Structure 1
Amino acid sequence: MPLVFSLHAGAGCGASSPCAERDCARLAALVRQMPLIALAIAGNALTLAAISLYSAPLALTVSAPLALAGLCACLVIAWRRLIRKPIVEAEARRILRRVKLAAAPLAFLYIAWAMALYMHAGPGQAEALVYSLALTGMFTIFALAQLPKAALLVGGMSLPGFAWLLITGGDASAILAGVNIFVVVLALFMSVNGSSREFDDLVAARACAAQFAEDNRRIANTDSLTGLANRRAFFAQMSREIARSEQVFMGIVDLDGFKPVNDLYGHALGDKVLCECAGRLRQFETEGVSVARLGGDEFGVVVNARMTPSEILAFGARICAALKAPVRIAGAEASISCSIGFARFPQDASDAEQLYERADFALYHGKQHHRGEAVLFTAEHETKMRLKARIEQCLRRANLEEEIRLEFQPLFDAADQSIVSFEALARWTSPELGSVSPSQFVPIAERSETIHTLTRTVLRKALRAAKNWPETVGVSLNLSVRDLLSPIALSQIIVIIETSGVDPARIDIEVTETSLLTDFEGAQAALTTLKRLGVKISLDDFGTGYSSLAYVHRLPLDKIKIDRSFVQEMQGNGVARDIIKSMIALIGSLNLHCVTEGVETSEQFDLLRKFGCNVVQGFLFSRPIPQDEVVRFIADAGGGRPYAASA
């Protein structure tokens, strides 16, 4: 017969303190014992009445036992109702108090009735009355062990009196029986008192265990740094909301600019920045909105509300605005922002894991195209996501040695327009998908181990091609940060370079600025290892990331490549011209070569040369050319003809 408060150590009755736990546990034990006590008392009453039926008046042998039996029946019914009723802490305390207060008068009335029967009993009947009453009294004391005061009242008012009657009766056997009852009652009192203390200790231990379990549950579901719910709690909450709601939004928040702040100012201040951001996110927690830290600088938002796409994007914009405000901690000011990807249930996915994949895709798309804004997953994203998954599967199955071909785009000296080197560009033709753009398959490869195979394939092919070029012409290729951070992949790259037969001084390894921030220390060590081989190191896409001198001066760089986006805006835009002029001057002050890509017009080239750019690359000079045409292209360039757009 289940009882809420007895099964959960007081939790069901709202217990919140050790005393409350004890009261609830005592009441639970009493609820189980009370029907048995009532049954024993009713049975004893009928037994006493039967023993005295012919010696005592009918009022004592019939009316009183029936009334007592009826009272016991009512007691059983009342307590059975109590079993089914949720009990709060205050009510449990009241019930126990009533039991203690009622124990004394009820015991007094019962003993008074038994004494009246004893007065009318013959010698044999008297002994039977005493023994029957003694057994019932002992059972009652034992059954009330969790209420020692009530047990002492019942036992103290019943058994000692009858024991004294036996002792003063004069009969030797009766005296011994009375003494035995005294001894047994004393032992029972001591046992009840000890059992009560052990019961209290057990309840306290159970309460501690419950509190320990609750603490463990809280720790297991709480981020130790920010105090927000953690990833585990986030997905559990999301699953619950999906199960009971018609529409739920999941948002993935990623901080933009946190990594350089963390590296520049140290992890201690970085942790404070995360706590500050968590505090700002917590301000958005209302009924239906909860936030969590998923790990690193990524947070999650659950929104259980019927919102339109424009409303959820407006909500995301408010979050972005709150996190964009400067963070001032310990005299330092950190400027960060955030991007958010949202996905909806049930429109976009049917469970929490799928919803996370789509919210993460929306976030990734937002960081690529709408950095610092909120993006909602759409049907167009679903199409791109499925295509991405198909490309990834085909890429994993691909024979890259056969399916990858290379094109090479030349880089020219800005002073005399002679060929400096060629950048190797991978082109993939899949038997299943046909020609796949590098902008599609390279990012997918970089997010998996496939990038290692792709890098080795491109490196081998590029170096085999470079062996047929003049010694004055170099070859450059991009290296993924995953390759840099993998000791096995890095050692394989070194072996390919050392066994290629190409002078390492002709090899230029390009790495992007933003990729290095994944693990700057690890990337720095890997680049230093490559630098010892004699290869050149270039920082690609400079200006599109954080462009922090705190990083640039610590890297073993030879060149910095200014991203094409600055060149495209330079013509007709005075601010853009000033920016690129300053960047070229900065690179020169670091004693590094400046490479500018994306040059498409003579006006752009003239300005870049005027600003002091060393090397240029772009369609003005040449588009990427197939591998088998590079040798002829180099031979034609030997005539010293300047290259124009028609070249």
Structure 2
Amino acid sequence: MLKIMNFLKVPNDNPALTVAQFEAFSKQVPLLYFILLTNMASLAWTHRDVAPAWLVIYLPSVLGIVFISRAIGWIVGRNRTVDAAQAYRKLRSTNRLAAPIAILCVLWSIALLPYGDSYQKAHVAFFMAITVIGVIFCLMHLRSAALVVTVLVNVPFFIVMVASGQPTFIATGINVVLVTFALIAVLLTHYRDFRQLNESRQRLLAQQEELTRQHREMQALSDENLRLANMDSLTLLANRRSFFDVLNRAFARAEEEGRRLSVGVLDLDGFKPVNDMYGHAAGDKVLVEVGRRLSGFARSDITVYRLGGDEFAIIHAGAHRDEDLLALGERVCQAVAASIDIGTSVVQVTTSMGFAVYPDIGTSGQDLYERADYALYTAKRTQRGGIVLFNAAQAKTLSRHREVEEVLMAADIEKEMSLVFQPIVDVATSRCVGFEALARWTSPTLGRVSPGEFIPIAEHSGRIVLITRHLLAMALAEARGWPGETFLSFNLSPHDIATPENVLRIISVVEASGFDPRRINFEITETAVTRDFAQAAKSIELLRHFGSGISLDDFGTGYSSLNHVHKLPLSKIKIDGSFVAQIDSRPASYKIVKSVLAMCEDMGLEAIVEGVETEAELSVLKDMGVEVVQGYHFSRPLEASAAQDLVQAEAGERDRRRVSAD
């Protein structure tokens, strides 16, 4: 019984199915009312002369108005979007209305049956049969209403037909009932298929929605990965990859539209000492704060990037004058130079900056960056903490730099590289106590190239390590002919002490030469130490354990000099010649040299003063207690044979004095 009642109700267990039923049903309801209206009008017309007016005029007119208004209402509203609740209410309303309409139509047709001849009575039977069949088809998407109409029409129709006693009517009643059962079976099958189709559609839509959701999630994940791939995780600025991607696209637009495009590259001066003194965590805080300050300059035409380490970049698109760029650089430098609180202390770093501008120079985004980077290199070399705009002079220098690099990479080091030796002199005796080996390069293509030019290029290209080992072997071969008390001073580059492997190769060269390592003094610049202080300290310790001396060269020209002196196992300090020039007339230089000498005495380190060029300078240094010097006042760098002659002559002179004394 419960199952039968469920068949007669509008289902509401599947909202999507309810909406689908409503959409399909709303298209057929106007046809339902059209069938009822035309069949009723036809039957009323055939009985107009035999039946009362209320049966053939008034009642059909009232029902016709109801049918027409209902049909219009469904036609007007069928294109409106409804939700499941609205669809259910409309279907349930129609289901409730089906019973009274069916009863009225049945009673009306039965009321007409007594009137007229056999043809007119047959028309009544036809009306009831064809109407119920049409209604069933129109109600196939509303199963409950179709079943209600079937029961309420067919049962009275069958009873009336059988009760008439006419064989034709009885056969008609039976025929209609049987056909109706078949139609109901078709209706139930259609409804089941409709439901299954709708459920399949829902599953398909659900799968599509799931695929869409997964696609959105994958797209979101891809976008996030792309964002992270283009973002520096420490400073949250766009990273090097993003910089070159944006730069290449911006350059293409600038080239197409004839606009100016500027690239600024900057790195921090004094950042390495912060890392060395306070640790990498403090260094990270400095980078984060600098990144935050640089972000303040970002706008629609200016983007900021961290390229790596302590190097940052700016892309400035649009029209701007060189003066505006330099002003921007000044503001950036001022912002970076403000004190930074790292928690345990307050530190300060500065920045140097280089700019390059298209279309003044540059044929590609990469080319523009390289020129800005070279402008930065020029700023750090000539005006640390300043701003340099790439110009024609730098373009010429860069062209020369690339030419030298290409030739150097292809050079035959053994044939083209040579050494000269500058005497290191004992002030008291004016005797040469050692030589500093200095590199020389004579290229078949370029001619003689200055060490100040090719050494930085060799360091930049990585070829310096090979050059160092070759020149060291040459220097040791020459030094084997010197008297036993004469030492060799040899310069190492930052690359030579950057790894334990490189230091061990240097030791191997010394061991292979048979030269006493205690007669070697390796010179290391303070710049080499600040690149990686921890590794530099290990390398120096290894060389000291080997027996060699270590000099800190160009002392006073780098950062945190005293800090390095205290922490490193040094044997000598070389006071830079810039402090010696005109020391006889510059009180500041006098005080600096005097302070360094006092420090060396306290720490038990030997001091060598380089760059002595005049007798006046030497006289002042003597009075200050300097013991060892070198410079043009005594000798320019000598060829190997001349150096050999010098030490042999001095040795012979000492022997003669010794014999005379005896």
Range class of TM-score, shorter chain: 0.7 to 0.9
Match of 2:526 in 1: 513
Instruction: Please give the residue correspondences for 1:161-310 in structure 2 after superposition, counting only pairs within 5 Å.
Output: 161-166=145-150, 169=154, 171=177, 172-180=181-189, 204-245=213-254, 246-310=259-323
Contact 1:52 1:117 in 2 (8 A): no
Distance apart, 1:499 and its partner CA: 1.3
Find the residue that maps to 2:513 and give its secondary structure.
coil
Distance apart, 1:452 and its partner CA: 1.8
CA gap 1:403/1:190 in 2 versus in 1, 3 angstroms:
closer
Instruction: Please give the residue correspondences for 1:406-425 in structure 2 after superposition, counting only pairs within 5 Å.
Output: 406-425=419-438
CA gap 1:599/1:188 in 2 versus in 1, 3 angstroms:
same
CA gap 1:534/1:42 in 2 versus in 1, 3 angstroms:
same
Amino acid at match of 1:502: F
Find the residue that maps to 1:302 and give its secondary structure.
strand
Distance apart, 1:342 and its partner CA: 0.9
Find the residue that maps to 1:546 and give its secondary structure.
coil
CA gap 1:55/1:462 in 2 versus in 1, 3 angstroms:
same
> C-alpha distance in 2, partners of 1:411/1:633?
12
Match of 1:155 in 2: none
> C-alpha distance in 1, partners of 2:437/2:83?
90
1:476 counterpart = 2:489: yes
Amino acid at match of 1:295: G
> C-alpha distance in 1, partners of 2:476/2:33?
112
Find the residue that maps to 1:625 and give its secondary structure.
coil
> C-alpha distance in 1, partners of 2:237/2:448?
46
Contact 1:504 1:534 in 2 (8 A): yes
5+ long unaligned stretches in structure 1: 1-28, 76-95, 138-157, 641-647
Provide Cα deviations, 1:220-268, integer angstroms capped at 9, x if missing partner.
2221111111112222222232233411111111000001101110111
Find the residue that maps to 2:252 and give its secondary structure.
helix
1:401 counterpart = 2:404: no
Contact 2:494 2:527 in 1 (8 A): no
Provide Cα deviations, 1:169-209, integer angstroms capped at 9, x if missing partner.
45433444455566566667766776776666555544433
Amino acid at match of 2:248: S
> C-alpha distance in 2, partners of 1:340/1:351?
20
Find the residue that maps to 2:351 and give its secondary structure.
strand
Provide Cα deviations, 1:544-579, integer angstroms capped at 9, x if missing partner.
101433322222211111111111253322122211
Contact 2:132 2:149 in 1 (8 A): no
Match of 1:336 in 2: 349
CA gap 1:71/1:236 in 2 versus in 1, 3 angstroms:
farther
Amino acid at match of 1:241: A
Instruction: Please give the residue correspondences for 1:364-513 in structure 2 after superposition, counting only pairs within 5 Å.
Output: 364-513=377-526
> C-alpha distance in 2, partners of 1:227/1:490?
38
Structure possessing the higher radius of gyration over alpha carbons: 2
Find the residue that maps to 1:331 and give its secondary structure.
coil
Find the residue that maps to 1:494 and give its secondary structure.
helix
Match of 2:122 in 1: none
Distance apart, 1:484 and its partner CA: 1.7
Distance apart, 1:286 and its partner CA: 2.2
Provide Cα deviations, 1:295-335, integer angstroms capped at 9, x if missing partner.
11111111123222222112101111111122122130212
TM-score, with normalisation over the residues of structure 2? 0.75
Match of 2:592 in 1: 579
RMSD of aligned Cα (Å): 4.0
CA gap 1:624/1:203 in 2 versus in 1, 3 angstroms:
same
Contact 1:594 1:613 in 2 (8 A): yes
> C-alpha distance in 2, partners of 1:133/1:377?
85
Amino acid at match of 2:236: G
Total equivalences in the alignment: 562
Q: Which moved more, 1:518-527 or 1:425-434?
A: 518-527
Distance apart, 1:71 and its partner CA: 8.3
Match of 1:81 in 2: none
Contact 1:406 1:425 in 2 (8 A): yes
> C-alpha distance in 2, partners of 1:368/1:111?
93
Find the residue that maps to 2:580 and give its secondary structure.
helix
Amino acid at match of 2:238: A
TM-score, with normalisation over the residues of structure 1? 0.77
Provide Cα deviations, 1:396-438, integer angstroms capped at 9, x if missing partner.
1111101111111111123322212111111111111111111
> C-alpha distance in 2, partners of 1:237/1:569?
52
Instruction: Please give the residue correspondences for 1:474-623 in structure 2 after superposition, counting only pairs within 5 Å.
Output: 474-568=487-581, 570-623=583-636
Contact 2:102 2:149 in 1 (8 A): no
> C-alpha distance in 1, partners of 2:132/2:635?
124
Instruction: Give aligned-pair identity as a percent.
Output: 36
Amino acid at match of 1:231: R
> C-alpha distance in 2, partners of 1:210/1:455?
53
Contact 1:55 1:122 in 2 (8 A): no
Find the residue that maps to 1:492 and give its secondary structure.
helix
> C-alpha distance in 1, partners of 2:627/2:134?
120
Contact 1:163 1:182 in 2 (8 A): no
Distance apart, 1:50 and its partner CA: 11
Match of 2:336 in 1: 323
Amino acid at match of 1:515: A
Distance apart, 1:587 and its partner CA: 2.1
Contact 2:421 2:643 in 1 (8 A): yes
Distance apart, 1:450 and its partner CA: 1.1
> C-alpha distance in 1, partners of 2:138/2:493?
92
